[in-house]
Amino acid sequence: LVAHHGPFTWGKTIEEAVSNAERLEYIARLAWVTLQLNPQSPKIPSELHHRHFSRKHAPNAYYGHENS
Protein backbone atom coordinates (compact mmCIF):
# COMPACT_ATOMS: atom_id res chain seq x y z
CA LEU A 1 0.00 0.00 0.00
CA VAL A 2 1.13 3.52 -0.76
CA ALA A 3 0.07 6.55 1.27
CA HIS A 4 -2.48 8.78 -0.48
CA HIS A 5 -2.81 6.33 -3.34
CA GLY A 6 -5.13 3.54 -4.38
CA PRO A 7 -4.04 -0.07 -4.02
CA PHE A 8 -1.70 -1.71 -6.50
CA THR A 9 -2.90 -5.18 -7.48
CA TRP A 10 -2.06 -7.51 -10.32
CA GLY A 11 -3.10 -10.78 -11.87
CA LYS A 12 -2.65 -12.89 -14.98
CA THR A 13 -5.54 -10.97 -16.56
CA ILE A 14 -7.07 -7.57 -15.93
CA GLU A 15 -10.13 -9.32 -14.52
CA GLU A 16 -7.95 -11.16 -12.00
CA ALA A 17 -6.22 -7.91 -11.03
CA VAL A 18 -9.60 -6.23 -10.43
CA SER A 19 -10.76 -9.24 -8.41
CA ASN A 20 -7.61 -9.00 -6.29
CA ALA A 21 -8.29 -5.28 -5.73
CA GLU A 22 -11.84 -6.10 -4.61
CA ARG A 23 -10.50 -8.70 -2.18
CA LEU A 24 -8.00 -6.21 -0.79
CA GLU A 25 -10.75 -3.62 -0.28
CA TYR A 26 -12.96 -6.21 1.46
CA ILE A 27 -10.18 -7.23 3.85
CA ALA A 28 -9.37 -3.57 4.56
CA ARG A 29 -13.03 -2.97 5.38
CA LEU A 30 -13.09 -5.95 7.74
CA ALA A 31 -10.02 -4.56 9.52
CA TRP A 32 -11.55 -1.09 9.74
CA VAL A 33 -14.87 -2.40 11.11
CA THR A 34 -12.99 -4.55 13.64
CA LEU A 35 -11.13 -1.48 14.93
CA GLN A 36 -14.35 0.54 15.04
CA LEU A 37 -15.98 -2.15 17.19
CA ASN A 38 -12.90 -2.67 19.35
CA PRO A 39 -10.08 -0.12 19.07
CA GLN A 40 -8.01 -2.29 21.42
CA SER A 41 -8.29 -5.32 19.15
CA PRO A 42 -4.88 -7.00 19.22
CA LYS A 43 -2.76 -7.55 16.14
CA ILE A 44 -2.03 -11.14 15.24
CA PRO A 45 1.27 -12.42 16.64
CA SER A 46 4.19 -12.03 14.20
CA GLU A 47 4.75 -15.82 14.32
CA LEU A 48 1.23 -16.44 13.00
CA HIS A 49 1.60 -13.73 10.37
CA HIS A 50 4.88 -15.22 9.19
CA ARG A 51 3.43 -18.74 9.04
CA HIS A 52 0.47 -17.66 6.90
CA PHE A 53 2.66 -15.56 4.60
CA SER A 54 5.24 -18.34 4.23
CA ARG A 55 2.76 -21.06 3.36
CA LYS A 56 2.01 -19.21 0.12
CA HIS A 57 5.14 -17.18 -0.62
CA ALA A 58 8.15 -19.01 0.87
CA PRO A 59 10.46 -21.26 -1.19
CA ASN A 60 8.62 -24.34 0.12
CA ALA A 61 5.13 -22.83 -0.26
CA TYR A 62 2.32 -25.32 -0.18
CA TYR A 63 -0.90 -23.28 -0.20
CA GLY A 64 -2.56 -22.79 -3.58
CA HIS A 65 -0.08 -24.99 -5.45
CA GLU A 66 -0.98 -28.13 -7.31
CA ASN A 67 0.89 -31.24 -6.27
CA SER A 68 3.17 -32.44 -9.04
Closest alpha carbon to 9 in 23, 27, 21, 25: 21
Specify the pTM: 0.62
Residue 68 is predicted with a pLDDT of 46
Confidence at residue 35, expressed as pLDDT on a 0 to 100 scale: 95
Res 2: pLDDT:
73
> Are the C-beta atoms of 53 and 60 separated by less than 8 Å?
no
Tell me which amino acid residue 57 is: H
C-alpha distances out from residue 21 to 11, 17, 26, 51, Å: 10, 6, 9, 23
